[in-house]
Structure 1
Amino acid sequence: MTEPEERHDEGGLDDRYVVPAPVSPDADPARRNGHRPGVPDQAGGDVWDRRVATGLAFLRRRLAGDYEVDEFGFDRDLTSAVFHPLLRRLYRDWFRTEVTGLENVPADGAGLIVGNHSGTVALDALMLTTALHHEHPEHRYLRLLGADLVFRMPVVSEIARKTGGTMACNPDAERLMRHGELVGVFPEGFKGIGKLYAERYKLQRFGRGGFVSAALRTGTPIIPAAIVGGEEIYPMLADIKPLARLLKLPYFPVTPTFPWLGPLGMVPLPSKWLIEFCPPIPTEHLMDSADDPLVVFNLADQVRETIQQTLHQLLKRRPDPFGP
């Protein structure tokens, strides 16, 4: 995932966006039958009955076409019923994720979540999405902005669209925020996830500040998010650049397990994850300065410094990368 670039959509962006209808408890599999994400079932004997009933209800909706997909391809029903339950297993049981600062994420309305990027494979984007839907009181969906490469890959592009992702361009980002969506961006892009393990938790350059311009134009608060844990899942020891160029990839990683163990090398190491959402940075008073390079640079630098300092604090709280 990466920051939005300045682009102009000649196909009429306004005509291709449909504001998703509010999701009622009956329309969200995660809340059906009184169940809330993150709250364990009390009656153990009813767990499997509920799961079977929920699964059958999901299949009936899919077969009947009783679900909505917005013009970006976001399928809330599929995301809630299939993708989030799978990601929660990784989030809770494998990475043992702890989250703080959720009170800094708005209960409704627009927000721009800006996170640090790491880990060779961008699992941090998925864990951030899971944290907001699993832990936030309003179980908010995060609309991730992804690099062009993500949407050129078969299967991956379809999954990204279905789960709410879209291209990292300012028109898309601004349109989402104007309609009250929570948008996620990782301004380091491939520089962040493709850095060597020796540079772990050192933020890379934030590009040209496209995410700041998008937030300023819409008056959307910026919420910095610091993520610790992603650097250890696939520690990159080397980058084989000639092979990366041959395969048209931003990097070709060598880790302690990949490519030596083949497909098994893709299993992430069970690092301990900490995620903290920092206090929001308001932008409404700066809306007229969206095209001022100095304002954009200073605000981007403030976000970057906030994330870097918070990473240092989280690392002190987690002395053992693979601890409980």
Structure 2
Amino acid sequence: MTEPVPLAEGLAFLRRRLAGDYEVDEFGYDAELTDKVLLEFLRPLYRDWFRVETLGVANVPQRGGALLVANHSGTLPIDALMAQVAAHDEVGRPLRLLGADLVYRLPVLGELARKSGHTLACREDADRLLRTGELVGVFPEGYKGLGKPYAERYRLQRFGRGGFVASAIRAAAPIVPVAIVGAEEIYPKIGDLRTLARLLGLPYLPITPLFPWLGPLGLVPLPSKWMIEFGEPIRTDEYDPSAADDPMLVFNLTDQVRETVQAMLDRLRLRRGGAFARI
């Protein structure tokens, strides 16, 4: 009797892993583990819990370096993971996310982040990825966007100093604005345990309607309806790479990207309607 193909593939996968017969790139990215294991854990959230709808997929280049610049929210960086699933499953390209150094200081999580293609949000790593033709994702708001209170939902925070724009210019890579609607409602932040957060070395420790009151159950994200839109690319190949050192040009392009993402968010939020209207 012939064994089922999925079982055969699974056994072959395990044999390769145990034998060390797999490859990782210079950043530690393990494409096979990401595709066959890590993303499989995320897809139920993407498809069934958040019911993510993607728009503007054709705006993402199918080849060559490109930089996706998105808003950041939701208390925990689940929006980054959902963007990774969207890029892989809808666009057909792996998304190499740039993350904060805190991620890589955490046991287990830091290693998993590396294996799934993430790397440190720094100039050197961003430049290398873009120049080698990768699709790179960045969330310029950082913790200020991720940890903002629910009352400020869908209001973009400051976009840093524009380092992502400079990297795109140096690599002549297009910048694709990305708007993510839905993450703001998964953990509505109504307070912050600041003293405890400082003791733990965290940027914030949120209070939500469910956490910490329900303990671990309070960490289950609410099933809001999500929409992710990829906007029209902003070209940078018309600039000389040396233009990346022009602070006024970098500032203006950064501001243009921020305004574009904000306008996309406003439109997309209206299009979605109520966060929990389609449960």
Whether TM exceeds 0.5 here: the answer is yes
1:215 is matched with 168
Alignment partners' CA distance in 2, 1:91 and 1:132: 12
2:89 is matched with 134
- Write out aligned runs for 1:232-247 (5 A): 232-247=185-200
Q: Deviations over 1:244-276 (max 9, x none)?
A: 111111001000111111111111000000000
- Write out aligned runs for 1:99-118 (5 A): 99-118=54-73
Q: Deviations over 1:102-159 (max 9, x none)?
A: 10101111100000000000000000000011112xx210000010111111111011
CA drift of 1:323 comes to 2.5
Alignment partners' CA distance in 1, 2:170 and 2:134: 15
Alignment partners' CA distance in 2, 1:152 and 1:72: 15
Structure 1 position 151 matched with structure 2 position 72: no
Structure 1 position 290 matched with structure 2 position 247: no
CA drift of 1:235 comes to 0.5
Structure 1 position 251 matched with structure 2 position 204: yes
Alignment partners' CA distance in 2, 1:50 and 1:110: 35
Structure 1 position 277 matched with structure 2 position 215: no
Alignment partners' CA distance in 1, 2:37 and 2:269: 32
Alignment partners' CA distance in 2, 1:146 and 1:234: 20
Structure 2: which 5+ residue stretches go unaligned? none
CA drift of 1:51 comes to 2.6
> Which residue type is aligned with residue 210 of structure 1?
G
Alignment partners' CA distance in 2, 1:229 and 1:54: 35
Aligned to 1:304, which of 245, 255, 258? 258
Alignment partners' CA distance in 1, 2:12 and 2:233: 39
Alignment partners' CA distance in 2, 1:183 and 1:175: 10
Q: Secondary structure at the match of 2:155?
A: coil
CA drift of 1:312 comes to 0.6
Aligned to 1:201, which of 144, 154, 167? 154
Structure 1 position 185 matched with structure 2 position 138: yes
Q: Secondary structure at the match of 2:228?
A: strand
> Which residue type is aligned with residue 125 of structure 1?
A
CA drift of 1:64 comes to 2.2
Q: Is the 8 A contact 1:116 1:192 kept in 2?
A: yes
Structure 1: which 5+ residue stretches go unaligned? 1-45
Structure 1 position 62 matched with structure 2 position 62: no
Alignment partners' CA distance in 1, 2:100 and 2:160: 13
Deviates more, 1:189-198 or 1:281-290: 281-290
Alignment partners' CA distance in 2, 1:246 and 1:295: 40
> Which residue type is aligned with residue 185 of structure 1?
V
Q: Is the 8 A contact 1:88 1:134 kept in 2?
A: no
Deviates more, 1:281-290 or 1:101-110: 281-290
Q: Is the 8 A contact 1:228 1:311 kept in 2?
A: yes
Q: Deviations over 1:40-70 (max 9, x none)?
A: xxxxxx9x93332221121121122221011
CA drift of 1:199 comes to 0.3
Q: Secondary structure at the match of 1:275?
A: strand
Q: Is the 8 A contact 1:227 1:275 kept in 2?
A: yes
Q: Is the 8 A contact 1:223 1:280 kept in 2?
A: yes
1:317 is matched with 271
Deviates more, 1:67-76 or 1:239-248: 239-248
Q: Deviations over 1:282-304 (max 9, x none)?
A: 00112331011110000000000
TM-score by length of 1: 0.83
Q: Deviations over 1:73-116 (max 9, x none)?
A: 10001001101111111100100000010101011111000000
Q: Is the 8 A contact 1:197 1:231 kept in 2?
A: yes
CA drift of 1:242 comes to 1.3
CA RMSD of aligned residues (A): 1.2
TM-score by length of 2: 0.97
Which contiguous aligned blocks of 4+ residues in structure 1 show a shift greater than 6 angstroms? none
Structure 1 position 94 matched with structure 2 position 52: no
Q: Secondary structure at the match of 1:284?
A: coil
CA drift of 1:213 comes to 0.7
